Amino acid sequence: MIRLLLILGLTTSILPAQGRFGGGRRMAARNAVMTRLHTLRTERIHQATGISPEKAKLIADRWEAFDLATLERRKEIKQLRQQTQNILMGTGSEEEKNARLRPIVERLETLQKEQQEARQRFEAEIRESLTPAQQARLIMLVDQFQKELQTALKEQRRGRE
């Protein structure tokens, strides 16, 4: 059930990013995915940690805010990695590649550091309202959630090939 919801949500979120929907439909699809993801996170946080549904919703709200706040940074990191790959696979001497890569690598390092700091702030904010046992359960949930997302993405990619 969860895997199906994740695949459905990821499909809906990836297609708009690829420009396959019109403007209004793209936004509606994105909002539907975000709503489903928020609901799923809230339910899973509540079940895993045993905290109240209201407190679970607050954590899911903060998680969503973190996702939105870091989205542009993640997009830029992805673009810079693609640029790096293109330069490395392209023509030119090692010296020319080094000169072209230097500012990209510096920017990547900066963005990755900012991303790590944002994640640490996010996690600290959430942890302060939970007991150690609830924190441990949430950590396990987040790990499981990430693995399920990765699996769903792999399955989705296989389906497109």
Per DSSP, the residues of 40-79 read HHHHHHHHHH---HHHHHHHHHHHHHHHHHHHHHHHHHHH
**Rounded-to-integer distance, Cα 103 and Cα 143, Å:** 33
Q: Other C-beta atoms within 10 Å of 91: how many? A: 7
pLDDT value of residue 161: 67
pLDDT value of residue 31: 81
In 5-146 the beta strands, taken as DSSP E runs, fall at none
Report DSSP state, residue 19: T
Fold of 52-129: Four Helix Bundle (Hemerythrin (Met), subunit A) (1.20.120)
Report DSSP state, residue 124: H
Q: Which amino acid is at 76?
A: E
Stated pTM of the model: 0.66
pLDDT value of residue 103: 97
Q: Where in the chain is the domain with CATH 1.20.120?
A: 52-129
pLDDT value of residue 63: 87
What is the full per-residue pLDDT of the chain (161 aa) written as tens digits? 344 344 444 444 444 444 444 457 877 877 887 888 899 999 999 999 999 999 999 999 998 888 888 889 999 999 999 999 999 999 999 999 999 999 999 999 999 999 999 989 988 888 888 999 999 999 899 888 888 878 887 888 787 76
pLDDT value of residue 123: 87
8 A C-beta contact, residue 41 and residue 63: yes
